[in-house]
Amino acid sequence: METESTQLKNEARRQRAYPTENLETRSLEKPKESHLNMVHFKFDCPHCQTRNSHFSGEENKINASKSFDSKPRGVVAEMPITCSSCKSISIGYFEGIERREMLQLLDTNQFQYQDLIFQLKTTIPKMPNPTCPEHTPKNVELAFIEAENALIARLYGSAASGYRKTIDRAITPLVDDGFKTKMLGQKLGNLQKSQSLPQTMIDWISIVKDNGNYALHDDDRDFVSEAEIMPARQFTLTLLQYLFTMPEEVKRARAAIDERKQAS
């Protein structure tokens, strides 16, 4: 058993070998004998979108990295990690923390390697962050983002019904007051009669509506691929740009022209 004096001497040797001021520049030495030592984490999977999915990686596959978006202190390293839900591989980026800086036990996203504790900071690829066309009303935007998240998570039926809800909310302000609480098909009939939208747009909306109805009411078959949903998604995206983004962009462009005329 080591005496306290021996432990102090060993620590002094370690400090001489790996001084703190060189922590960011020294590389990690791989064990001479390869061995399988798995480490485990919980993180949102950027592939299957599973929240707090279990990831695993081989400790001896960690590599030192010289760059990082926000340059945390200590050694920055990377390691392939595998999602237990979808079996897809991501690259985990880790912050190195000296053991003497640790004030608590290791949490689920930390592991010890050589004389450092490694903290999982982010992954590549990163979790997708869906966006909506500019100037879209909040209630319409929420429905669209909900549909986008369902598509990313491969919940194709939920995505189809979400895009249907999006266009329903988007066109409701355009219909006559007596139709605002009616079904989507009746709203389309009102728009067609009033010619509030081009016929092509109404045809597109009808496709999104039928896709959503199919997802909700057909019990014998489900959507099984992204390709089946993409036309409805593209039609929905185009409708939002046409109804909300383009008018504001036209106003902005017209204001710029008027400003130039006044200045001349």
* Structural domains of the chain sorted by starting position, each given as residue range(s) with its CATH number in brackets: 4-124 (no CATH), 138-263 (1.20.120)
Q: If you compute the radius of gyration of the chain from its CA atoms, what whole number of angstroms results?
A: 28
Query: Distance (Å, rounded) from C-alpha 116 to C-alpha 79?
Result: 15
Contacts of 161 by beta carbon, 8 Å cutoff, 6+ apart: 147, 212, 215, 216
Joined tokens for residue 188: 């389309």
Q: Give the pLDDT score at 224.
A: 87
3-state secondary structure of 55: strand
Peptide bond into 125 cis (omega under 30): yes
Going residue by residue through the chain, which has 264 residues, state the pLDDT in tens, using 9 for 90 and above: 455 555 555 554 544 444 443 434 444 555 444 445 788 888 888 887 787 888 888 877 777 655 444 444 444 778 898 998 888 888 888 877 665 555 455 566 777 776 677 778 878 888 788 999 999 999 999 999 999 999 988 889 999 999 999 999 999 999 999 999 999 999 999 999 999 999 999 999 999 999 998 887 766 668 888 999 999 999 999 999 999 999 999 999 999 898 888 887
Encode pLDDT of 174-209 as tens digits.
999 999 999 999 999 999 999 999 999 999 999 999
Residue 28 and residue 63 in contact, taking contact as beta carbons nearer than 8 Å? yes
134: closest CA among 4, 19, 248, 11? Answer: 248
Task: Report the amino acid identity of residue 245.
Answer: T
* This prediction's pTM: 0.64
Residue 151 and residue 229 in contact, taking contact as beta carbons nearer than 8 Å? yes
Q: What is the DSSP letter of 175?
A: S
